[in-house]
Structure 1
Amino acid sequence: MNIFMVSSEAYPFSKTGGLGDIAGSLPLEISSINTTNTMNTRKASNINASLIIPLYKQNYKLINKKDILTTLEIEHGKNIVKVDIARIKHPNNDNINVYFIKEDNLFKRNGIYSENGIDYNDNASRFILFSKAAVKLIIYLYEKENLEVDIVHIHDWQTALIALYIKEVFNEEEALRKLKVIFTIHNLAYQGNFPVDIYGLLNISWKFFVHSRLEFYGNVSFIKAGIILSDIVTTVSPSYAKEIQGEEFGCGLNNLLSDVSSKLYGILNGGHDEEWDPKTDKYIKNNYDINTVSKKKIIRNSLYKEFGFINKSCPLVTMISRFDPQKGLDLIYQSFFEIATYNANFIFLFSKNNYFKDFEEDFIDRANRAKNIKVLFTFDESLAHRLTAGSDMYLMPSRFEPCGLNQIYSMKYGSIPIVHAVGGLKDTVINYNGAKTINKATGFVFNEYCIKSFVQTMDLAFDLYYNKKDIWNKLVANAMSKDYSLHRCALEYTKLYKKLLSDK
């Protein structure tokens, strides 16, 4: 079985968030699964996974002239664009081919989608070309190397047009006739909706600009192509798959998603097993496990010294996130008075990828009024790991959350999450609700998205931390024992792959 993963980003080559983590890690995990073995072991697999991504500026050092497989001529509006295809072996698995789509004018930039919080104004053009090139590459490999791809797994709006090109534009190509397509929605809020004046870049008939294909309130909607034309649509958690069929979280596409519910699946994302493990984490000096969790205090004390906190005997609460309204920034902002009164220190680490720039100054100004709150705006992988390892609690009060990975990482590191009951947060964090839940609970979950509910939940968490240490320690043990691994996620996807091929 040959699977091609196509994504606009993929770790370790490129990453802005959970999309990069999953698209980059799934090929590795899928390749490790023996689909004929019912035991949960990792042996050689009969699934061959490959990855197609754009060649961004930071990855030019990975390729040289001998890696250029071919040059494809892509019709792009009124122009013919020459696109180089570079092929290398994945640095973590020689059995996985990585194909880079190389087009310097579109992809050799400082950012992936944006710079300084501002989206590139030609993102539609960039990912239209990328989608065409990915399909042309599959055709090339079939004709020149006799490689028959069975399934193309595409991710988010940036690759959604691939479903249209495979199923209805180039569908007479021999390489594509039996090809199955899976489309994964990582966040429905990002849809790839563009003004109709970009339509000429698609090089397709106007017959596709109808409600049943690409038209969405007068705009061109990339994501609709993926939803309508893929054989299977997945989201990154079971609860999110249900939520997006309703008006509150459906982002205007809820009726469409309800119509395709028979092919809509929710598969819970998994944490990156090797990169995020307190026993082996390369970013922390004092590695630990469930039996040596007391070492967290050493890491915490180091952070307190680094950030100059006065009170060094209290718990640390962290949040690592995009600075985005989705992430519950309004709840944090409006509860800064209460946060300032807790006998605890708080560190907020925000990245500036597509961030809510207009709110930054007010947020920092209010946070700076308290001595126990620090706010940083930077992408710092090392600090993210150290904060997760050193914290006692982790805040994730998202307004909506397709899956989320940070709450998974925090539990694995013994940092108890405080989350809103939506999407993947609801699917992964088991709420503490008294003695009857003590053997299963892994965190604190509030149902109503409001300041009162959020603060009451924090109050409960601090009460347990200070006054009921035996219960708190049990929550930490429960959280660290949960399995939300990528391997578990990959097993679910292999089941879908097999289902697709058995339906041929």
Structure 2
Amino acid sequence: MNLFMISSEAYPFSKTGGLGDIAGSLPLALNSIKIDSSLVVPLYKDNYKFVDKKSEYAKLKIKHDKNDIEVEIIKIKHPENLNITVYFIKQDKFFNRNGLYSENGKDYEDNASRFILFSKAVVQLIIYLYKKEKFKLDIIHLNDWQTSLIALYIKEVYNEEEALKNLKVIFTIHNLAYQGNFETDIYNLLNISWKFFVHSRLEFYGKVSFIKAGIILSDLITTVSPSYAKEIQSEGFGLNNLLAENSYKLFGVLNGVNDNSWNPKTDKYIKHHYSVDSNIDSVEECLKKKKIIRISLYKEFNLKNKNFPLITMISRFDPQKGLDLIYSSFFELSTYDGNFIFLFSKNNYFQNFEEEFIKRANRTKNIKVVFDFDEALAHRLTAGSDMYLMPSKFEPCGLNQIYSMKYGSLPIVHSVGGLKDTVINYKDSKSLNKATGFVFNDYSVNDFVDAMDFAFKIYNNKKVWNKLIYNAMNKDYSLLKTAKEYKKLYIKLLK
């Protein structure tokens, strides 16, 4: 089985969030279960350290409106697995920039043009490989709106090409809030007939919708958790009816965690490693290591009460993440016998809210807010914390709550999407043997604060708390499980 994973970002080459983590790691897991997978991504500014002159593979001419644009294909072996090929789409005018999609808080105005070119280049690469090397692809796995037009080009524009005949297309929606909807003035860049600008293809309230191509023309659609797959059929940002109509080919596959990147046994960003074994007493040893990390964080952030538990949140600064609940609960948070550290990546769309958020936090003694994309700090906060906040309004899957459980930090989450699928709520002694965190149902300040109150109450019951940590650290949310679920779908497709 030959498969191409196509993504606008993929770790370790490029990453802004969970899409980069999964798209970059899934080919490695698929390879371990005997699926020949390659990765295709744009060559961004930070990727040049991975390539050299020997990496140059091919040059392609891509028709882009009335222009012929030269695109170079760079071919390397994956630095973490030499059995996996990585193809970079190189076009410096389009991709050699300081950001992936935006800069200084503003989206690039030509994002539609950039990812139309990328989509065309991927299709031409598949055709080139077939003609030059007789390489026949079985499945192409697309991710999010930036790649969804590829389904249209494969199924209806270039469908007579031998390389594309019988090629199966799977399309994964990582976050339906991002759809790739653009004004019709970009249509000529597609180099396709206007017959496709209809409701049953690309037209969406008078705009050109990239994501519709992926939903309508893919052979299978997946989302990143089972609950999210159900939710978007009723609350789908205007696409719920379309997704409900295509429910027969819509599946939820829970994202998994790459053990190489997030593992308290081996994490390169923390000095004191730990793990649990089959004996619950091993939790105490973990807590000793976590305390050392926590105290170093308190010293770094000038937090005085060193015996208080640490509660963290690591997220982009986006209202989707439940920031309004936290903002409205600052008084309650300031009264807890606990220290809070929030690590956010900046989002200039919400500049005013960011300023108000910081002002309110600065009135407290136990809450620190940091705006920075700091991978090392994210790992140290996860390792040193006792509780992790993720009160999202909606959450396709979420990875940070999985990371936190793996590191023995109990999550407090809203019962939605992937949070609902991954965190098992502790209610009472009946749930003690399975519970891994705390879940609140209504998206309200009252429910959020009640969950916080309950978590702090249980924190003081060390026997119960240690058992919850033990449960959480032993849950298997590995990427291998995700890969095995996808393998079933790939086999289903080919049959």
Matches within 5 A, 1:148-227: 148-227=136-215
For residue 279 of structure 2, what is the aligned residue in structure 1? none
2:109 alignment counterpart: 121
Q: Give me the whole-angstrom Cα distance separating, in 2, the residues matched to 1:251 and 1:191.
A: 9
CA distance in 2, matches of 1:357, 1:32: 44
**Cα-to-partner distance string for 1:40-88 (whole Å, 9 max, x where unaligned):** xxxxx2x210000000000112112221111100000111100000000
Please give the per-residue CA displacement for 1:221-275, whole angstroms capped at 9, x wherever unaligned: 00000000000000000000000000xx310000000000000000000011111
Check if 1:363 corresponds to 2:351.
Answer: no
Q: Which residue number corresponds to residue 106 of structure 1?
A: 94
Q: Which moved more, 1:62-71 or 1:402-411?
A: 62-71
CA–CA separation in structure 2 for the residues paired with 1:364 and 1:111: 25
After the TM superposition, which segments of 4 or more aligned residues of structure 1 sit over 6 Å from their partners? none
Following superposition, the deviation at residue 375 of structure 1 comes to: 0.4
Give the match for residue 278 of structure 1.
264
The one-letter code sitting in structure 2 at the alignment partner of 1:293 is C
Paired position in structure 1 for 2:32: 32
TM-score by length of 1: 0.96
Structure 2 match to 1:334: 328
* Candidates 393, 414, 425, aligned match of 1:420: 414
**1:478 maps onto 2:471 in alignment:** yes
Q: Name the residue aligned to 1:257.
A: 243
Q: Is the 8 A contact 1:114 1:353 kept in 2?
A: no
For the 8 Å contact 1:114–1:354, the answer to whether it is kept is no
Contact 1:117-1:357 within 8 A present in 2 as well:
no
Partner residue of 2:122 out of 118, 134, 137: 134
Rounded to whole Å, the distance in 2 between the matches of 1:302 and 1:188 is 39
CA distance in 2, matches of 1:200, 1:358: 37
Q: Give secondary structure in 2 for the equivalent of 1:74.
A: strand
How far, CA to CA, are the matches of 2:181 and 2:475 in structure 1? 38
**Aligned mates of 1:61, 1:388 — CA distance in 2:** 29
> How many Å separate the matches in 1 of 2:128 and 2:349?
39
Cα deviation digits, residues 449-487 of structure 1 (max 9, x gap): 000000000000000112x11111111110001000101
Quote how far apart the aligned CAs of 1:352 are: 2.3
1:2 corresponds to which letter in structure 2? N
Unaligned runs of 5+ residues in structure 1 are 34-44
Instruction: Name the SS of the counterpart of 1:424 in structure 2.
Output: helix
C-alpha distance in 1 between matches for 2:349 and 2:379: 21
Q: Which of residues 143, 146, 149 is equivalent to 2:131? A: 143
Distance of aligned partners of 1:116 and 1:335 in 2 relative to their CA distance in 1, 3 Å threshold:
same
Gaps of 5+ in 2: 277-281
Distance (whole Å) between structure 2 residues aligned to residue 354 and residue 153 of structure 1: 32
Q: Give 1:356 deviation, angstroms.
A: 2.7
- Superposition map of 1:74-113 within 5 A: 74-113=62-101
Match of 2:55 in 1: 67
Aligned to 2:444: 450
Deviation at 1:359, TM superposition (A): 1.3
**Structure 1 residue aligned with 2:484:** 491
Q: Structure 1 counterpart of 2:240, which letter?
A: N
Task: Identify the residue that residue 254 of structure 2 maps to in structure 1.
Answer: 268
For the residues of structure 2 that align with 1:66 and 1:390, how far apart are their CA atoms? 44
1:172-191 deviations in Å (ceiling 9; x for gaps): 00000110000000000000
Equivalent of residue 393 in structure 1, options 364, 387, 406: 387
Query: Which amino acid counterpart does residue 155 of structure 1 have in structure 2?
Result: N
Counterpart position of 2:18: 18
Query: What's the secondary structure of 1:356's corresponding residue?
Result: helix
Alpha carbons 1:416, 1:443 under 8 Å: kept: yes
1:322, CA displacement in angstroms? 0.6
TM-score where L is the length of structure 2:
0.98
> Contact 1:317 / 1:346 at 8 angstroms: preserved in 2?
yes
Tell me how far 1:310 sits from its aligned partner.
1.1
Q: Distance in 1 between matches of 2:91 and 2:489?
A: 33
Residue 430 of structure 1 aligns to a residue whose secondary structure is coil
Give me the whole-angstrom Cα distance separating, in 1, the residues matched to 2:324 and 2:49: 41
Alignment match, 1:232: 220
Match of 2:6 in 1: 6
Task: Give the Cα–Cα distance (whole angstroms) in 1 for the partners of residues 343 and 57 of structure 2.
Answer: 41
Aligned CA RMSD, in angstroms, stands at: 0.8
